A = this chain, B = another copy of it.
Amino acid sequence: MRRIKAIVYGVGAMNSVATRMMLEKGVDIVGALARSPQKVGRDLGEVAGLGFPTGVVVEDDPERVLSSRQADIAVIAVASYMSDMYEHLRRCAEHGVNAVTISEEALYPWNTAPMETAELDRLARQNGVTITGTGHQDVYWVNLVSMVLATAHRIETVTGRASWNVDDFGPEVAKDQRVDTTVDDFDTWLAEADRPPSFGRNTLGALVEDLGLTTVAVESTTRPEIAQEPVRSESLELTVDTGRVIGFTDVDTVKTHQGITLTFEMTGRLYLPGEADINDWTVTGEPELHLSNPAVPTGVTTCTQLVNRIPDVINAPPGFITMEKLPRPRYRTYPLGMYVHERKRFLRRGPLS
């Protein structure tokens, strides 16, 4: 076991928290990358709001940082979709650096971005490194659910419901989520919108793969969430009247050859006072099963998974290895150590200390 050397790739809200967690867990930060001129050139501790300097300067040249630091892993929090992530992940693979990301689509991108994923898988294998998507959804939408399903004798349906508060992410996200539009305007937007597949597709894809099932049909629908009483939006600085839109819910359904139907409902809307993020799953069959994580702190658990998964990703065989193929998630005590898989050590192109 030796200390892990990590590059902080993207210094936004999530990676600022992850940076503190990594330092507290004994990870050596050997580089930091950002694009914003307001961040580049400053100490990572300052940019991440840690209250102390880290001695690591935020840089803007990924090629140079990835090629010069002998890092074990890049910890990436820059974008949600594979179309935006491809270049970042390709760079890591080509420089022989493992990559872990909270990109939502990267959780299980084989069904929604198969070409990019296959090419990244090939590059990763060629360079002896692993690429994995993780985050809150790794445990709460896939691995915990899979473990509850492990106590079923026979599954008929699996139905998950999760929510997030649009007010937590600023006015742009609130507008994207159609807050304060009319239902008619929402319906017009929805009919014309060219939206990418929801992340529910990736979640259900991972569950189907994990259960050893095969997909017959996929269906996705979206419904507006409507104010039943006036609802305050702090990010938009207005109150949404009764009957107007406070967000929407994406519903993804997968039917399988084995007769099991999986559904995931993801709601992003304004919360009423006292509401919190939910994670509720119901399984029908024998027996009926329920899982609930009241007041689940989605943002924090996204950061903890990004950090706690680091040893699993470093130690995994090379390729685009989705999280349901990694060892089960575990609590990590200080220090967050690593060893390198012998085959990987052999395959890896870059120097190893």
User: What is the interface of chain A, defined by CB distance below 8 A to chain B?
Assistant: 21, 24-25, 136, 139-140, 143-144, 146-155, 210-213, 258, 286-297, 300-301, 303-305, 307-308, 328-331, 333
Contact = CB atoms under 8 A, between A and B. Distances in A.
Contact of A287 (B150, B290, B300): B300
Contact of A150 (B149, B212, B308): B308
Copies of this chain, count: 2
Nearest to A329: B150
A211 B308 CA distance: 13
Given A143-B147, A144-B148, A331-B155, A290 B300 contact: no
B297 A288 contact: yes
A1 B295 CA distance: 43
Given A258-B333, A290-B294, 6 more contacts: A139-B148, A144-B148, A147-B329, A153-B303, A210-B330, A287-B300
B212 A333 contact: yes
Nearest to A210: B330
B24 A305 contact: no
12 contacts: A136-B151, A139-B148, A146-B330, A151-B301, A151-B329, A152-B304, A155-B331, A211-B331, A213-B333, A286-B300, A287-B300, A292-B293
Contacts of A330: 146, 150, 210
Given A294-B292, A295-B290, A328-B328, A304 B139 contact: no
Nearest to A21: B153
B331 A150 contact: yes
A322 to B, nearest CB: 15
Contact of A151 (B140, B150, B155): B140
Given A329-B147, A333-B258, A293 B289 contact: yes
Question: Which of A147, A212, A286 has the largest number of chain B CB atoms within 10 A?
Answer: A147
A148 B293 contact: yes
A328 B147 contact: yes
A291 B295 CA distance: 10
Nearest to A327: B328
Contact of A139 (B150, B213, B288, B305): B150
A116 to B, nearest CB: 28
A321 to B, nearest CB: 16
A142 to B, nearest CB: 10
B301 A287 contact: yes
Contacts of A25: 153
Contacts of A294: 290, 292
A286 B292 CA distance: 19
Contacts of A152: 304, 331
A290 to B, nearest CB: 5
A331 B304 CA distance: 27
A323 to B, nearest CB: 11
A151 B328 contact: no
A308 B140 CA distance: 22
